[in-house]
Structure 1
Amino acid sequence: MKHLFRYAALACLSLLLLACAAHVANSGRGPVPEKPPGTLRLATQNVHYILLRKPTGAWSLADWEGRKGALDDAFKALDADAVAFQEMESFAGGDDGSVNLARDFLLDQNPGYAAAASGDWRTFPPTQPIFYRHDALRLLDQGWFFFSDTPDVIYSRTFDGSYPAFASWAQFAPAQGGPAFHVFNVHFEYKSRSNRQRSAALVAERIASLAAGGPVFLLGDLNALAGSRTADILAGAGLQFAPVRGATYHFNRGINLFGAIDHIAASAGLLPVGAPVVVRSRFRGVWPSDHYPVLGDFRLPE
């Protein structure tokens, strides 16, 4: 029995050391760099839904009151021209999206931005908006499709019947002139690998049909690592993934155990300027979400 306890203790110690090593390998923190002149800065963040019927506890109304200032500080720190959000939802049950506390709060606090890929919840799923700086970009078009056998049916369930998941998208043009481009904002399901892969294949098809070979950015929470089959399907559609280093999901504790699942990808001809940045910071002593924001700077083709 003593040997059994000794082996168990050694196993636990080994797991702890591995976890510590993983945390160190997937961490790193630095200031948000200034945006290089003449570039387009894009960012993505999963901000976690708010449970409207839960007064206290994790992701409750009280929790939202405690973290909303930190979320606004994080948003301002990005200094981005466009930010793709996932899980920007105030959930009361069902598909009703008439209340969206996070979206409305950030727009109120940041009047220089507007929300694309958003609309009346009965005809446009509102939980994955793309905020854009309206003095820098003009909104040309927007839309959505669900990761489903019926992708154009709003709130249709995923390929294996799990909760609805979808892509939102918007087409922009630089306000001062330049080529139009599409931004696709995705959130793939975390449990099912086949769901993620079929979702990625659908995104690749829709990029080909909607963007018709024009400049494309893909932002969002893939729930998949770079080099995974899910990412490879998107790479096969002509997207190049920015090399995001370290963790982007941290369990709402700053614990960084595995590599990036939140990504920025761009089509050929969209030139990255510097490496992408993961903002692994608390603001006002609070984590804004259980995901870190990720940003990247790009130059549009002439």
Structure 2
Amino acid sequence: MKKIALLLFPILLASCGQGNQTATAVLEPMNVMSFNIRYDNPEDSLNNWQYRKDRAANAIRFYDADIVGTQEVLHNQLQDLQQRLPEYGVIGVGREDGKEKGEYSALWYKKERFEVLDSGTFWLSETPEVPGSKGWDGACERVASWAKLKDKISGKECLALNTHLDHVGVVARREGISLILDKVKELGNGMPVVVTGDFNSTPESDVINHITNPEGPEHLTDARTVSPVVYGPAWSFHDFGSIPYEHRPLIDYVFVGNGVKVLKYGVLAETENEAFLSDHAPVLVTVE
């Protein structure tokens, strides 16, 4: 019996070693994208959505995005992306009625990788739970859609939130981001967090400083500022190439918090035969 036990002991050790290697291997990085796809505007001529929808979907798939925060998504565009990206689930509602009317800040996730534990949408207004409510001096209704996701590979949980701040209202942007930071703290309860969006604010603005100020107890980190690898230009909005290169602003972001480590950051300012993905360049960040 002792001989059998001695023979089995190295096998058990080897099995335990393999198990540890497997546990380490499953902690795979995660690709997070922020992508303002530009609403389906008939006046966009050859830049209209009908000519871009296949490219937009292919870019998401090619860059193997695990989580994608999209902005300016009308319901027909949501359906187009669902048809082209069946491997993704989506969370969000139309901002005008909480159903299908108006733009979505739609949050996409790989169904094979994530289990949705909880999700929802709130309005950036004084009454965030009221569908269609417009906040402060905002020109439009604005929303944030979020999900608590469990990574099926690692078992880890994280909070993902996606938004689009107002393009006119100064107070709406300031108060909107304060509300978002409060909600991230409330919903995330200390779990790792990624926040994507079009913030209509440049890096030196009060809005972005409010988000990233390390003295703020709810602050988040701009992934670009801590990434060891930064690829692409320092801008994200180009208006289908009409803005002179030196005047193009960076207004699209991925923010991280609560222990999320940034590995790579890129702005995907690519074209296909001079045709654009959108009037914004997507931002892609690899984290763990």
Normalising by the residue count of structure 2, what TM-score does the alignment of the two structures yield? 0.79
Identity of aligned residues (%): 24
Q: For residues 244-290 of structure 1, give each alpha carbon's deviation from its aligned partner in whole angstroms, at most 9, with x where no partner exists.
A: 7511000112643234110011003100113x111101135421210
Mapped partners of 1:280, 1:120: distance in 2? 28
- Which segments of structure 1 move beyond 6 Å, counting only runs of 4 or more? none
2:235 counterpart of 1:247: yes
Pairing partner for 1:88 from 62, 73, 76: 73
CA RMSD of aligned residues (A): 2.3
Q: For residues 67-87 of structure 1, give each alpha carbon's deviation from its aligned partner in whole angstroms, at most 9, with x where no partner exists.
A: 222222322232110100000
Deviation at 1:151, TM superposition (A): 1.1
Match of 2:261 in 1: 271
2:24 counterpart of 1:64: no
Deviation at 1:116, TM superposition (A): 2.3
Match of 2:193 in 1: 216
Q: Number of paired residues?
A: 247
Matched-pair contact (CA < 8 Å) for 2:93–2:121: no
Matched-pair contact (CA < 8 Å) for 1:44–1:263: yes
Match of 1:115 in 2: 90
Match of 1:95 in 2: none
Match of 2:162 in 1: 185
Pairing partner for 2:104 from 124, 127, 150: 127
Query: Aligned partner of 1:289: which letter?
Result: S
Q: For residues 228-248 of structure 1, give each alpha carbon's deviation from its aligned partner in whole angstroms, at most 9, with x where no partner exists.
A: 211122223231111275110
Mapped partners of 1:284, 1:112: distance in 2? 28
Mapped partners of 1:117, 1:134: distance in 2? 15
Match of 1:198 in 2: 175
Query: Aligned partner of 2:275: which letter?
Result: V
2:60 counterpart of 1:75: yes
1:8-87 to structure 2, matched below 5 A, reads: 38-51=28-41, 54=42, 57-58=43-44, 63-87=48-72
Mapped partners of 1:264, 1:161: distance in 2? 23
Q: For residues 100-130 of structure 1, give each alpha carbon's deviation from its aligned partner in whole angstroms, at most 9, with x where no partner exists.
A: 2221112211221111235898545671111
Query: Aligned partner of 1:39: which letter?
Result: P
Structure 1 residue matching 2:140: 3-state secondary structure: coil
Structure 2 residue matching 1:114: 3-state secondary structure: strand
Structure 1 residue matching 2:224: 3-state secondary structure: coil
Structure 2 residue matching 1:85: 3-state secondary structure: strand
2:128 counterpart of 1:139: no
Match of 1:296 in 2: 285
- 1:154 to 1:72, Cα distance in 2 relative to 1, 3 A: same
Matched-pair contact (CA < 8 Å) for 2:138–2:166: no
Matched-pair contact (CA < 8 Å) for 1:118–1:128: yes
Matched-pair contact (CA < 8 Å) for 2:91–2:120: no
2:252 counterpart of 1:258: no
Structure 1, gaps ≥5 residues long: 1-36, 90-99
Match of 2:22 in 1: none
Structure 2, gaps ≥5 residues long: 1-26, 226-232
Pairing partner for 1:282 from 244, 257, 271: 271
Mapped partners of 2:144, 2:85: distance in 1? 24
Match of 2:126 in 1: 149
Q: Larger helix proportion, structure 1 or 2?
A: 2
Highest RCO, 1 vs 2 (Cα 8 Å, sep ≥ 6): 1
Mapped partners of 2:130, 2:95: distance in 1? 15
Mapped partners of 1:154, 1:208: distance in 2? 22
Matched-pair contact (CA < 8 Å) for 1:43–1:295: yes
Match of 1:93 in 2: none
Mapped partners of 1:141, 1:179: distance in 2? 14
Match of 1:94 in 2: none
**Which of the pair has more CA radius of gyration?**
2
- 1:268 to 1:193, Cα distance in 2 relative to 1, 3 A: same
